[in-house]
Chains A and B, each alone.
Chain A
Amino acid sequence: MRPFQYQRAHSISDASAIAALPEAMLIAGGTNLLDMMKLQVATPSQLGDIGRIGLDGIQDTSDRGLRIGALATNTATAVHPRVRADYPVLARAILAGATQQLRNKATTGGNLCQRTRCYYFMNVDQPCNKRDPGSGCGAIGGVNKLHAVLGTSDQCIATYPGDMAVALTALGAKVVIAKSDGAERTVPVRDFHLLPGDTPWRDNVLDQGELIVAVTLPPPVAATQLYRKVRERSSYAFALVSIAAVIAIDDGKFARADLAFGGLAHKPWHDPRIGELLVGAAPSPALYDQAADLLLEGAEGHGDNDFKIPLARRTLHAVLAEAVEKAA
């Protein structure tokens, strides 16, 4: 690791002040940042530890939703009684990610901001527009099994690797952000991560000096919730394709169909047309195919990841069929 100055933040304003400094970074659980610092993929000269700024609580909101502090650990969130009872897709998505040791340290904010697992990004000897703008993209025409099939650009085809945010996207959660001037802004999780476009170095909408203070969940809805993660081994691997589904059936028809997809793009993928197609329609394999057509319209493989396109289609079929069976 390159030398850095370590400073513990004691408040949100402390943390914002550190985050606003050039070459400073915030550290929460450290499970992604320290990994990158050891590889010199991240080389902050100042590290602001936000672990003790008092944002680790999980509280009911006045509308019976839930507010999960940015420093709540993934474990604390997954085992929280209200998360288990009212937002099971979130508990399931978290439990499907990483390991208990990592989840005990990983935080809400750090999980949302975790960076891609693209092999070229993680290796400073390789070209990568995300890490080193203008150096090229090693993954295009290279090894790209983990990479995106939707929403890519000719600059970057990386995926956002996380699970939790996929569930938060299906649930319609919001990210509460403290701005450097002390004011707050709120961004739907669906709009928090960016597509790579011409600015692949930007993963999300956070500006220098901003930090995540919480994630809020809307009031619970009566629905069947599922998280299906397809990976190369049955535990402890990143998603090839994952789907978070919040499904309700009424009178033999879809009454709610909120779906989000992991492993396919630079952000948790949400296509409102899928919900619009499904709601009001009776479940059938033909309908699921139409939903998959919408999802995969414009999908493009890059060689090693071509399999993700048929895999996403089959996984969507399986998840919808399972959800319908459970919801009926």
Chain B
Amino acid sequence: MMKENIDDLKNILDKEFEDFKSAVKKVETLSGLENIENRFLGKKSLVSEYLKNMGTLSNEFKPIAGKTINDMRRKISERLSALKEEISLLEFDKKLRNEKYDISLPGRKIKTGSKNILNQIIEEIEEFFIGLGYEIAEGPEIETDYYNFEALNHPPDHPARSLHDTFFIDENILLRTHTSPVQIRYMEKHKPPVYVIAPGKTYRKDYDVTHTPMFTQIEGLAVDKDINFGNFKWTLETFVHAIFGRDRKIRFRPHYFPFTEPSAEVDVSCNMCKGSGCRICSYSGWLEILGAGMVDPNLYKFVDYNPEEVNGFAFGIGIERIAMLKYGINDLRMFFENDLRFLNQF
């Protein structure tokens, strides 16, 4: 029976709480916690017993005792629910940790394909020239003699024609030997300023270690007022630095092409030997990468431009050659063999 003394009640309850505290100290599982809850808040617990017997207390003491017991009950209950959350988190964590998972097993990869190396280089070059304000033009691969030769200053019987071993469809129709005809077609349709590059397949009757009967070119053309040789040098120098890196040296060597005057072959310093000479550059320290020049004014006659009003320059780049130099590919024929091990490398 409860004595109607608040200090006694408090003492008893404080002792009960001390017992509770020492009981939960050791508890680690939810079921253990349930036992404790039973012991301290269950039907047979001290707190429950006291509350059950509240009716026997005096009216003065009842509210004070009730409040004190209920405070204690709430205290225990709050503590228990906090512990419950804590322990269930711990148990959840333990359960997760017990799941066996070898994350070093190989993942399910998605096979990706590859863009052909030649198209990668073409796109790289296209992006460079688009940045300078150029457009991309395309044209037929089966061409007429007029566009492939005549309008490019190769009249019939011109000795320079022998430099091109041409595939013919008939006397006047042929497989283009360069992409320059695209430029003539473009100029026929557009007045200056003209800034255009023409990528595409070209054909020459040649098949050995250094020639395939089909190969890929980008030819470029700029025609505008006030274009001079210095601008031509700037454009190609900037191009070479963009493709091969700023540390490469570049030189313009006078040459001959029927549709440019003056004409130049452009060499880039050999990366293998840094210019001192090796097998790759045939001991010259230089690698030839493109042919170019100022547009021969004769060409303007074919497209109705006035050579006194505009100047221009043109250039032709062999894509396979750029790829070979950039990646050290040593056999030209690999580009068209399409071995999966080759394709997957790029």
A binds B: no
The interface of chain A, by Cβ under 8 A from chain B, is: none
